[in-house]
Amino acid sequence: MNKLLQELQRAAAERETRRHFLHTCSTGLGAMALSSVLASCGLSDEGGQKPVSGSLQATPDGPLPAQYTPKAKRVIYIHMAGSPSQLELFDYKPELVKYNGKDCPQELLEGKKFAFIRGVPKMLGPQGKFAQHGQSGAWVSDYLPHLPGVVDDITFLKAMHTDQFNHAPAQLLMHTGSARLGRPSMGAWVTYGLGSENDNLPGYIVLASGGKQPDAGKSIWGSGFLPTVYQGVQCRTDGDPVLYASDPAGMPRDVRKQTIDAISEINQQQYDDVKDPEILTRIAQYELAFRMQMSVPDAMDIKSEPKYILDSYGANPDKGSFARNCLLARRLVERGVRFVQLFDWGWDTHGTSADGSIDIGLKNKCKESDQAVAALLKDLKQRGLLDDTLVVWGGEFGRTPMQENRDGQVLPFMGRDHHLDAFTVWMAGGGVKQGFSYGETDDIGYYGVKDQVHVHDLQATILHLMGFDHTKLTYQFQGRPFRLTDVAGKIVKPILA
């Protein structure tokens, strides 16, 4: 009993913080000080976001009002972690064949920094065999035999560029708008703005394959300084979809509900005392976890899918894979999940091993993914979901038109180094043009020469398609409004349908 009393006294003392003291002191200075402290964190003393002139105001109880009529209601973002070579897949460069095996011209090396290339590398021609497909005449290589069947639904962005040539910072920039840790991910911004269409599932779900996490780790689906209720929930494809969500052995569901209600009541009392919005997040997460115990296993069970659907994706219901994740993505958006992110590791093709080569490893990764990606687009389309579901595919940067060497030595397998000046991303559905190609690179795929698109432009365009002005979807933090696109980004209007 004494121990319980001591714990109660300690909890009361912990709540009596300097902020709490200033808030309650009778001079009136406390309220002023508290207002200043909370404003610097983007909070009023009621726990909501401080309004910003010209910006949208977040509320803890629901989504923000869209500024445009949204073309897309949901997003499936497919990230090939490590970055596939655009020169083997989409960016056809017959001129590059002429330079194959020759020393790289000095003008391509002067003033350039590479992740690994040192000295003078050899140029490397494309390894895939290209052909034009569909009514759009899109160039796609034989590495991707299934994708040509859906190219007339796709918009290719062929002159993408970024600021980062190493994996972790480039992935952070692509998904959070900053190469540094601590910013909210794109999925967090979208769910912050729009919420979820299903009260029993998270608004933002992440599925990973390839055996490893992306180099930037879980930060690329984190919530940063947004309330943590908006962070991505990673679901496993083997075993329990979400760890620790199952009831302990011997605990009936009605008893678990009573437990959650009691915890929520205690948390609410604490929130009433200190007005910390993270307490509201904690309440919401407990309650959502309880509902997820029933909804997530159903959504993640693909055994109920017809055999022809499983076969079209190449998915094994008893084995986790990228193909299975593609099918799960369709099932999740069908149930109202706002943002589904697929990460597939293993696309880094430097030439240090067979698995990491563009003529062996890249081909194998394409075999693992091509059928499932094409099936996903067809499946969404035949269910009437593609029109308002935006599908995005790409890596964090591109690959060089020269073969990678290290310390002047040619590597044992064919590979390309990281390249930030030119790469390809494609989009489909949700308000973008069908069968369209935007942007061009030079004759060897080294620089974008027409209609370049920066990472921040891509982010601005995605938010626009979801109904938001990227300059006004902001959150006040540390004294200023932050946004996904930082202080840059423009909508790529020519690709909009």
- At 383, the pLDDT band (50, 70, 90 cuts) reads very high
Residue 365 in tokens: 């990764």
Residue 131 in tokens: 């052909």
> What is the C-alpha separation between 356 and 347, in angstroms, rounded?
7
Q: What is the mean pLDDT of residues 247-269?
A: 70
* Per-residue pLDDT, 39: 40
* Per-residue pLDDT, 244: 53
DSSP symbols for 205-227: EEEEESSS--TTGGGGG--TTS-
Asked if residues 194 and 238 have their Cβ atoms less than 8 Å apart, the reply is: no
The CA–CA distances, whole Å, from 295 to 236, 269, 471 equal 15, 29, 35
What tens digit of pLDDT does each residue of 313-330 get? Answer: 999 998 999 999 999 999
Beta-carbon contacts of residue 270 (< 8 Å; ≥ 6 apart): 15, 276, 279
The CA–CA distances, whole Å, from 36 to 30, 61, 405 equal 10, 24, 55
In the chain, % of residues over pLDDT 90? 67
> What is the C-alpha separation between 194 and 186, in angstroms, rounded?
12
What tens digit of pLDDT does each residue of 109-149 get? Answer: 998 989 999 989 999 999 999 999 999 999 999 999 999 99
* Per-residue pLDDT, 241: 60
> What is the C-alpha separation between 326 and 309, in angstroms, rounded?
12
- At 51, the pLDDT band (50, 70, 90 cuts) reads very low
Asked if residues 256 and 26 have their Cβ atoms less than 8 Å apart, the reply is: no
What tens digit of pLDDT does each residue of 26-38 get? Answer: 444 443 343 333 4
List the single range of 123-137, 274-288, 400-414 with lowest mean pLDDT.
274-288
Q: Is the dihedral of CA 228, 242, 322, 415 positive or negative?
A: positive
Is a pLDDT exceeding 80 seen at residue 414?
yes
Asked if residues 456 and 27 have their Cβ atoms less than 8 Å apart, the reply is: no
